[in-house]
Amino acid sequence: MADLITYRDAVADGIAREMRRDPAVVCLGEDIGAAGGVFKTTVGLQAEFGPHRVRDTPISEQAIVGIAMGAAMTGIRPVAEIMFSDFLACCWDYLANEIPKMRYMTGGQVTVPLVIRTANGGGLGFGAQHSQSVENWALAVPGLKVVAPSNPADVVGLLASAIRTDDPVVFFEHKGLFASRGEAAPDGHVVPLGEAAVARPGTDITIVALAATVPLALAAADELAGSGVQAEVIDLRCLVPLDMAAVLASVRKTSRLLIVEENPYQGGWGGTVASIVADEGFELLDAPIRRVAAACVPLPFADALEDEVIPTTPKVVAALRDLLAY
């Protein structure tokens, strides 16, 4: 039986592997040093690599991202942590106006090989300012790569690719997955950015998911399997680059598509996926494209109310049954 590791431990493992491989990789963020991170995703890094390469910072998102940008422009490969993805709003000028445009505006003379890690998503009752899924914020900014792994091995493999690329990457780690377990990544594990994975093969309907909606999709697919329905689950893994070839190949087999995302329905990444399938694969479809997404409201603190807002397995099952009956 393969060794199992938690998602949170995989984050520290993935960073450590790249820091051992490349002395230009450094980490900075709030409480990432001796404290090991508020979500315990950087445990052991400062002890192994020292305070010069694993630096605690003041509580200032602008300072963290601004310093990381400047360091990246000089050839260092910073891995900067913004504790909660909601707080990307505090450094949005750097993230939207400066970092992603530098390589373009200098004609390729200056690169910004920077990874911004951040804890994303709801389901833990952290309230409206600490629970949002904001992948769609980053998706709307040309020049940023957007990554959101669903399992520990992908955390390690995608971190390797993210840290090695010369483009800025926003790396979303879902808070609801930190305690989940999966197979440990083998030595030298690298997952190319922009390659989706077939998390579960099937022939009857395609479910496209990302990060924490992948286990929801898998659970829904397992429930339907009891009635003879074989759903294929596609784990996008990245939004930029976006592997629409994998999605279209799946829809070619199944002729039905359900998209499950934790972003709010309005402006969510699923709208982009649906649009591309409608443009490029309309004749493959035997039913309308459907989306299960979060409601367009601030996320409640109470867990029962939060479940009413974000996607859940029962909501995915109901949408699948409706789409299959179309």
Q: Which residues are catalytic?
A: 130
3-state SS, one letter per residue, for 24-78: CEEEEECCCCCCCCCCCCCCCHHHHHCCCCEEECCCCHHHHHHHHHHHHHCCCEE
Exposed/middle/buried for 23, CB within 10 Å: 0-12, 13-18, 19+?
exposed
User: What is the H or E stretch that residue 271 is in?
Assistant: helix 269-280
Contact status, residue 221 vs residue 234, Cβ threshold 8 Å: no
Per DSSP, the residues of 218-267 read HHHHHHHHTTT--EEEEE--EEES--HHHHHHHHHHHS-EEEEEEEESTT
- The token duo for 242 is 């976006």
Per the CB < 8 A criterion, the answer to whether 211 and 148 are in contact is yes
Residue 137 tokens, joined: 């914020």
